Amino acid sequence: MKTLLLVDASSYLYRAFHALPDLRNRHNEPTGAIYGVLNMLRRLHQDYQADYSACVFDAKGKTFRDDLYPDYKANRPPMPSDLAAQIEPLHDSIRAMGWPLLAVEGVEADDVIGTLAQIGARAGMRVVISTGDKDIAQLVNSHISLINTMSNEALDEAGVTTKFGVPPERIVDYLTLIGDSADNVPGVDKVGPKTAVKWLTQYQTLDNLVKHASQISGVVGENLRNALEWLPKARELLTIRCDVPLPLKLEELTAGPQDTARLAGLYERLEFKTWLRELQNSGSNEAPPASSKPPAEVQYECILSEAQLEQWLCRLEQADLVSLDTETTSLDPMQARLVGISFAITPHEAAYLPLAHHYAGAPQQLDFEKTLLRLKPWLESPDNAKVGQNLKYDSHIFANHGIFLRGIVHDTLLQSYIVESHKPHDMDSMASRHLGIKTLPYAEVAGKGAKQIGFEEVDLDTATRYAAEDADITLQLHQHLYPQIQPDSGLEYVYRNIEIPVSKILFHVERNGVLIDSSLLAKQSRALGEKLLTLESGAHALAGQPFNLNSPKQIQEILFGLLGLPVKKKTPGGTPSTDEDVLQQLAEDYPLPKLLLEYRGLAKLKSTYTDKLPRMVNPATGRVHTSYNQAVAVTGRLSSTEPNLQNIPVRSEEGRRIREAFIAPPGSRIISADYSQIELRIMAHLSGDKNLLRAFAAGEDIHRATASEIFACTLLEVTPEQRRYAKVINFGLIYGMSAFGLASQLGIERGAAQAYMDRYFTRYPGVADYMAGTRDMAKQQGYVETVFGRRLWLPDIKGGNGPRRQAAERAAINAPMQGTAADLIKLAMIAVHQWLQENRMKTLLVMQVHDELVLEVPQEELAAVRRELPGLMCNVAALAVPLVAEVGEGANWEQAH
DNA sequence: CTGCTAGCATA
DNA sequence: GTATGCTAGCAGA
């Protein structure tokens, strides 16, 4: 079936003129309406491959309606000169694009369209009319449909009936009753859409209604009777003519070739730079990249002119949701500077706004500061909804330029994490997994390794393709992922009430940073260095030759080759292990392993902490800013990198001294609060074990309580050794331990370990049931859940070989506990942050270490924080066990414990 | 310069 | 036995 596409260009011209900002070229000629109409035609051309088409305008001069009714359109002001001035260049551009253009003197565009539509429909064609005008709905039938290209609303017969309440053939009656104020054609006084639909539903047609006019009661009935004489004329005026003589045949309405040279000249003058570049580039297109499905046609625009910027800003302000992405000079969120911003509002269409590209021959870009200032209100508006891929990063970038991003309602990184925490969440993987799209890899844009260039050096064409795609893909991912979250109340809760709020808080925590006493660490480094030298020469002496104490391979050769010590265990690579466990055992009989242990411990402290941390101090803020990754740990925990502040030593005496270097500025103190036995409490809650619940409710020392059960004695009779055993067992339970693991941990026989476990499960039968139930559940559905509905996937639990499946079973036991603990502390962060904000406090949240929050508290807020913090943390959820948080205070992190 | 292993810091 | 991230050494570019 052939298609006829008719464009009611006049209806768009007025709308574009009024809707778009007053865009002008450098000669101060208005261009906004031209831009709007051309943009619409480009979209239309993309969506419809029509066999015949026409772009129809009103022509100058009187029409039959003016003869029929002298007041027709009499209330219209004359066309604004700024609009009149745009008509000729618009017509020229449309013709140059190859569109057949019609403006028939003495005939309105509507009547031209009506006549052509009828001809097309009679010839058996599919007719599509693109219009912004509701009057044309009267033309719709089984062959003819409407599309509003501005709102993307399509109307067929059913659509018209749904939208107006009457079918297309009654639209004229409907319009006659309500009148058309734009054309100065009155209807029946006080009759609007509601009454018109009511009457037409009751009496079917206007003619029938007129016949029964005497039956209509009330004021509107009276008004109807008063209008009876006028209505036929109104009806004639509002009826689109489908039989006007036209000076052409339908067959002539075929698109001609594009006159590229002429079009380029027009775009040049109008300063439509992206379209101009597009014209210049067409013909030298490279082959599209391979992809698993035919790539959708995309429209990526590079914003280089004020006019384009204003046009996009206008769209951004009106959009329900905008996908947003930044391009920067660096991956370090605190140091990176903005290079460009990309936006997407509808799939396959996006814009890149370059602001700081500099390379030889780089085009002039919009002024950096001025443009950011122009965008700032939109970026900072909480009412303009945004989606992005890891917007915490973009928030930092904007913050580096004094802009505070608000209106973050969605984040595809977090969506992916919520839907399938165990899969990769980078955009390239997600685009291929969910959308079947092969994205442009960053390495192809900027190179890789030593040859990698900064994004600011990437040429604008490539940068636009890359950056606009990021925004486009993010939007498409959102449309794909969010529907998988929204219907599930558990996932929706975790996403909306935990992850999204936490990402905003993490932004603040990262920006706050933490103060480090670099000179203290330097002093410790020096001391450690000296000690290491002594240990090293001692080790060389014992070995009888020099070797690198940092090299496990060389240690191996010395210990098991040169000195012939017994091999205790092998590494996965099959070589003799020299790890802590092994050295510990060997140290009982030989001097060198003990020395190596001491060396290893100190070397780790020096290289990872005392040497490294001072180098991580941000010169601008004088503090250390870690990055919290919210989407790596499959259990829902956070992780911390660059530097990792979640593995600062605490167990050894020397290690703890490093925590003395985490300080507060003068006038402030460090407060630390950590949940006590959070995972065991969650185990009690999840299992509902009476005995365990009772012990927590009574506030007993839980390891002591466990010991008294296992060793069948009273709490007071438990020895320190028994309590230590019980503690190992309790931890083992959380980790889904086996008798084998427990045995090696306690250094006892497997049988003895099994006996302890049996005793435990006899005394806590609820725990045994819970563990078995969790394993079964995991096997059945492939995932387990936290108390709040977070899903923890275990891909290996069904398939997988023996060891892998066993590991998955242990993870299944551990995940609900670790994951619920993660949910709880995230809720605590939200509660604490909100409390601080509501009370306008200066206290800063500076670190999160899985079950601990660290705050920097000004002297004057100390009392309030100490008083409120534990309650804020413990009241985030009502579990079957009480939650307990212990709070400490000090000049540094070590003292606060 | 990149990617891997061994080892080890935390909860 | 669970979950992470970082360093040094080392092999193969």
At A77-102, the pLDDT tens digits run 788 888 888 998 999 999 999 899 99
Distance A454 CA to B2 C1' (A): 20
Confidence bin at A264 (pLDDT 50/70/90): confident
Average pLDDT for residues A678-682, to the nearest whole number? 98
For helices A500-512 and A391-400, give the axis angle rounded to 10 degrees. 40
pLDDT of A779 over the 80 cut: yes
Distance A746 CA to B6 C1' (A): 24
For A579-613, how does the pLDDT look when each residue is reduced to its tens digit (9 = 90+)? Answer: 999 999 999 999 999 999 999 999 999 999 999 99
Question: How far is A132 from A150, CA to CA, in rounded Å?
Answer: 7
Residue nearest C4, CA–C1′ metric:
A639
A888 touches strand B (CB under 7 A): no
Distance A816 CA to C4 C1' (A): 17
pLDDT (0 to 100) of residue A45? 81
Which residues have CB under 8 Å from A283's CB, separation 6+? none
Distance A195 CA to B9 C1' (A): 76
Q: How many helices and strands, by DSSP H and E, does chain A display?
A: 37, 23
Distance A626 CA to B4 C1' (A): 26
A843 touches strand B (CB under 7 A): no
A611: nt with nearest C1' to CA? C7
pLDDT (0 to 100) of residue A843? 98
Residue A47 in tokens = 């969506």
Average pLDDT for residues A181-208, to the nearest whole number? 86
pLDDT (0 to 100) of residue A206? 87
In degrees and rounded to multiples of 5, residue A384 shows phi and psi of -95, 105
For helices A580-587 and A591-604, give the axis angle rounded to 10 degrees. 140
Question: How far is A13 from A485, CA to CA, in rounded Å?
Answer: 42
Beta-bridge mates of residue A175: none
Residue A44 in tokens = 């239309």
A812: nt with nearest C1' to CA? C2
Helix (H) or strand (E) holding A302: strand A299-302
pLDDT (0 to 100) of residue A290? 38
Residues within 7 Å (Cβ) of strand C: A 548, 550-551, 553-554, 607-608, 611-612, 629, 632-635, 637, 639-644, 646-647, 728-729, 731-732, 735-738, 740-742, 744-745, 807, 810-811, 814-815, 818
Q: Which nucleotides of B are covered by protein (CB under 7 A)?
A: 1-2, 5-11
Distance A598 CA to B7 C1' (A): 14
Mean pLDDT, chain A, as a whole number? 92
Distance A557 CA to C9 C1' (A): 14
Question: Looking at residue A329, what DSSP letter applies?
Answer: S
A850: nt with nearest C1' to CA? B11
Residue nearest B5, CA–C1′ metric:
A573
Strands A349-354 and A386-388: unpaired
Q: Name the residue among A759, A683, A691, A749 with its Cα closest to residue A726.
A: A759
pLDDT (0 to 100) of residue A285? 34
The SS3 assignment for A57 reads coil
Strands A668-675 and A639-641: unpaired
Distance A551 CA to C7 C1' (A): 12
Question: How far is A495 from A420, CA to CA, in rounded Å?
Answer: 12
pLDDT of A283 over the 60 cut: no
Lowest-confidence region among A94-98, A392-396, A767-771: A94-98
pLDDT of A762 over the 80 cut: yes
A583 touches strand B (CB under 7 A): yes
Question: How far is A813 from A820, CA to CA, in rounded Å?
Answer: 12
Lowest-confidence region among A62-66, A90-94, A574-578, A815-819: A62-66
Average pLDDT for residues A117-134, to the nearest whole number? 90
Distance A377 CA to C4 C1' (A): 39
Share of residues in chain A with pLDDT > 70 (%): 98
For A484-497, how does the pLDDT look when each residue is reduced to its tens digit (9 = 90+)? Answer: 999 999 999 999 99
A281 touches strand B (CB under 7 A): no
Question: How far is A861 from A832, CA to CA, in rounded Å?
Answer: 14
Higher pLDDT, A559 or A134: A559
Confidence bin at A708 (pLDDT 50/70/90): very high
The SS3 assignment for A272 reads coil
How many CB atoms are located within 10 Å of the residue A627 CB? 21
Residue nearest B10, CA–C1′ metric:
A647
How many CB atoms are located within 10 Å of the residue A569 CB? 11
The amino acid at residue A72 is: Y
Residue nearest B4, CA–C1′ metric:
A573
Instruction: Write the DSSP assignment of A191-229 as a string of letters.
Output: --HHHHHHHHHHHSSHHHHHHTGGG--HHHHHHHHHHTT
Question: Looking at residue A167, what DSSP letter applies?
Answer: -
Alpha carbon dihedral A390, A395, A397, A402, in 10-degree steps, equals 170
pLDDT of A284 over the 60 cut: no
The amino acid at residue A750 is: R
Question: How far is A382 from A488, CA to CA, in rounded Å?
Answer: 26
Residue A108 in tokens = 């309105």
Helix (H) or strand (E) holding A290: none
